[in-house]
């Protein structure tokens, strides 16, 4: 079982000058290049690459291996048997699996998650929802080998989570090392993947289901396909009624360096182009240089040919110390927006193998296996909460969509309420990640922190006690909670009995407010305030419900948290 890598050496771009270039031809925000397509499920949106390729022995996955965690998948991962370079924060996962690593720096066991657990995928899509991230591109490699059944199952799990949490997804084929790609990719689409386009969560652009093919035109031995074979596949998918994205070489436009010559017709056949960037840039100066030599001319070339453009934004590799506590990633967002780019692809969501993931990651050595050599998010001396790059992506997406003003100054604090930024005075729970004991239908717990007064969480019926929890992102001072139900006369007055607990680690909780009845009356805004007896420092807030006089379930449309 080989592990495909999509990292290329910086030498691939050695022909371009590095360093801070004169930003010639820069566009100002709002002066975007003509778009080939109007806003849809991918145009005007933030998409993340979603691997979903981690499994553990004992999780029930058909592959029955430590898939992508270990170099030798038949043995538990350890310092001498590893496939990763960064350690995930696993506190939000209901199921984890013990490893051969030493305990974490804080003494807790070193355990890892499995992508095969539905709760894991649900957690990931809940994070996407909480941070306003729109789309997940499900990576799909050659499905005809031993990995195939597990990958098939992952598509089903991603579909279910996307539907539950109101996100979009699409299939992204990676053709690396796929010997019989030209015929087998067509059979896989018609025989398996096309069925998922029936989901309301499957991404649609210009009225067509979205599919991406990554790897055509790369000048390497993993993708030796001819231009004719590649053009045949692109046109075949378009003939199937698909909107086709091409994951293409960085230098697709010039046809050199990492691109094979003679692929211009292939590139121009795609509906959208997404040039690869991992391994090409590693600091702010590189990002500024690529603004000039790639982003601006690429965007103009796409506009001239009626092609949509979806360049990559990278958080940076943890192991290479590229992140600069978010400044590297934010500079890319800034450059994309001022160039007039309308869509971006985040490389990647859960790529712990290469270290360029935005998923929750160990924030300090307290959350990394002792003596493992793994770096944490605070490697440059700046404390960063584990969800920092999710929050940073969310803010970058808002700037992309014009919801935040264009700014070269990163607005996202590495630690909520800490670092060099003033502590927040507003709702500490807004757009924060949530979890729950249960929910009914589509009324998931993320509805309580989405800022929409009409959406709400509802637990399973006739099954008290129930709970809802919010992760504030970092230990924060908390004194007051404002709880709401939808402000509608259709909701009759009711009293819900609940208590409040808090935790700094997500494992050990202490009581912050005892059990009491709280009345929600539409005549007074359907709002109840819980003032804690004393200010508390906590990261995780959990509300435990034991009764509701208006409905046999726990219900909340808003869970707001304030420092005072």
Domains of the chain with CATH codes: 35-400 (3.20.20.80), 434-562 (2.60.120.260)
Structure letter (DSSP) for residue 368: S
- Which residue is listed with tokens 């997404």? 274
As a whole number of angstroms, the distance between CA 194 and CA 521 comes to 48
Question: What pLDDT, on a 0 to 100 scale, did the predictor assign at position 35?
Answer: 63
Alpha-carbon distances, residue 169 vs 136, 155, 361, 406 (angstroms): 5, 10, 23, 28
Question: Which tokens in the block code for residue 40?
Answer: 């849809």
In a 13 Å sphere around the CA of 365, the CA atoms on its Cβ side amount to 7
Q: Which residues pair with 496 in a beta bridge?
A: 518, 548
The Cα 520–Cα 446 span in angstroms is 20
Measured CA to CA, the distance from residue 318 to residue 508 in angstroms comes to: 29
3-state secondary structure of 110: coil
**Can you state the angle between helices 388-400 and 327-339, rounded to 10 degrees?**
10
Q: How far apart are CA 364 and CA 297, in angstroms?
A: 40
Closest CA relative to residue 68, chosen from 108, 119, 121, 116: 116
In contact, 514 and 533? CB cutoff 8 Å: no
Cis ω on the peptide bond leading into residue 144 (within 30° of 0)?
no
pLDDT value at position 507? 87
CA-closest candidate to residue 446, choices 436, 437, 454: 436
* Global confidence as pTM: 0.74
Task: Answer whether 247's CB lies under 8 Å from 200's CB.
Answer: no
What pLDDT score was predicted for residue 16?
Answer: 39
Token pair in block for residue 13: 């771009």
Which tokens is 531 given?
């003032």
End-to-end Cα distance, the chain: 55
What pLDDT sits at residue 535? Answer: 84
Q: What pLDDT is stored for residue 201 in this prediction?
A: 97
pLDDT of residue 265: 98
Q: Are 474 and 505 in contact (CB under 8 A)?
A: no
Instruction: Please report, in tens digits, the pLDDT of each residue of the chain (564 residues total).
Output: 343 434 443 333 333 333 333 333 343 433 444 568 999 999 999 999 999 999 999 999 999 999 999 999 999 999 999 999 999 999 989 899 999 999 999 899 999 999 999 999 999 999 999 899 999 999 999 999 999 999 999 999 999 999 999 999 999 999 999 999 999 999 999 999 999 999 999 999 999 999 999 999 999 999 999 999 999 999 999 999 999 999 999 999 999 999 999 999 999 999 999 999 999 999 999 999 999 999 999 999 999 999 999 999 999 999 999 999 999 999 999 999 999 999 999 999 999 999 999 999 999 999 999 989 999 999 998 999 999 999 999 999 999 999 999 999 999 999 875 544 744 457 899 888 899 999 999 999 999 998 888 899 999 999 999 999 999 988 888 989 999 999 887 899 999 999 999 998 888 999 999 999 999 998 878 899 998 888 888 999 999 999 999 999 999 999 999 887
Cβ-contact 270, 205 below 8 angstroms = no
Task: Give 257: exposed, middle or buried? Use CB within 10 Å, 0-12, 13-18, 19+.
Answer: middle
| Contact partners, residue 363, CB within 8 Å, separation at least 6 | 89, 376, 377, 378, 383, 384, 385, 386, 388
Max Cα distance, the chain (Å): 72
Helix ranges (H only) for 178-310 are 181-191, 227-239, 264-269, 284-290, 296-304
Q: How far apart are CA 217 and CA 203, in angstroms?
A: 25
DSSP code for 278: T
């Amino acid at each position: 079982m080989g592990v495909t890598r999509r990292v290329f050496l910086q030498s691939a771009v050695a022909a371009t000058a590095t360093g801070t270039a004169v930003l010639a031809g820069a566009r100002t925000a709002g002066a975007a290049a003509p778009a080939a397509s109007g806003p849809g499920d991918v145009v005007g949106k933030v998409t993340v690459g979603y691997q979903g390729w981690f499994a553990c022995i004992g999780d029930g996955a058909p592959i029955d291996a430590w898939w992508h965690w270990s170099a030798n998948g038949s043995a538990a991962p350890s310092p001498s048997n590893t496939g990763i370079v960064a350690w995930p924060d696993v506190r939000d996962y209901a199921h984890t699996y013990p490893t051969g690593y030493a305990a974490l720096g804080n003494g807790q066991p070193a355990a890892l998650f499995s992508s095969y657990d539905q709760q894991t995928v649900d957690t990931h899509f809940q994070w996407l929802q909480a941070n306003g991230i729109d789309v997940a591109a499900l990576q799909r490699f050659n499905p005809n080998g031993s990995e195939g059944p597990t990958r098939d199952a992952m598509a089903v799990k991603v579909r279910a989570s996307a539907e539950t949490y109101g996100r979009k997804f699409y299939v992204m084929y990676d053709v690396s090392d796929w010997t019989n790609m030209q015929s087998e990719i067509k059979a896989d689409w018609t025989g398996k993947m096309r069925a998922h386009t029936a989901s309301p969560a499957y991404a649609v652009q210009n009225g067509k289901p979205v599919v991406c093919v990554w790897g055509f035109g790369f000048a390497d031995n993993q993708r030796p396909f001819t231009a004719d074979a590649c053009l045949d596949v692109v046109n075949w998918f378009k003939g199937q009624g698909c909107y086709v994205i091409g994951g293409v070489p960085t230098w697709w436009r010039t046809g050199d360096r990492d691109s094979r010559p003679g692929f211009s017709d292939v590139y121009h056949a795609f509906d959208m182009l997404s040039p690869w960037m991992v391994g090409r840039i590693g600091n702010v100066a590189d990002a500024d240089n690529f603004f000039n030599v790639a982003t601006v001319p690429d965007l103009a070339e796409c506009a001239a040919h009626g092609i949509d453009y979806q360049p990559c934004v990278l958080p940076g590799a943890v192991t290479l110390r590229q992140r600069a506590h978010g400044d590297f990633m934010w500079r890319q967002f800034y450059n994309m927006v001022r160039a007039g780019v309308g869509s971006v692809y985040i490389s990647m969501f859960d790529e712990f193998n290469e270290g360029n993931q935005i998923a929750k990651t160990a924030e300090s050595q307290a959350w990394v296996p002792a003596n493992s050599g793994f770096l944490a998010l605070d490697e440059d001396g700046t404390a960063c909460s584990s969800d920092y790059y999710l929050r940073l992506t969310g803010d970058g997406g808002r700037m992309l969509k014009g919801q935040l003003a264009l700014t070269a100054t990163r607005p996202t604090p590495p630690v909520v309420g800490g670092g060099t930024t003033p502590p927040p005075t507003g709702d500490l729970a807004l757009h924060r990640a949530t979890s729950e004991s249960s929910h009914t239908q589509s009324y998931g717990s993320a509805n309580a922190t989405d800022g929409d007064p009409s959406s709400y969480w509802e637990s399973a019926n006739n099954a008290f006690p129930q709970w809802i929890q919010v992760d504030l992102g970092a230990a924060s001072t908390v004194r007051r909670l404002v709880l709401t139900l939808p402000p509608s006369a259709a909701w009759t007055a009711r009293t819900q009995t609940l208590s409040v607990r808090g935790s700094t680690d997500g494992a050990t909780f202490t009581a912050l407010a005892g059990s009491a009845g709280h009345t929600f009356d539409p005549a007074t805004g359907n709002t109840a305030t819980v003032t804690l007896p004393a200010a508390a420092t906590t990261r995780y807030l959990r509300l435990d419900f034991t009764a509701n006089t208006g409905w046999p379930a726990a219900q909340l449309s808003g869970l707001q948290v304030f420092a005072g």
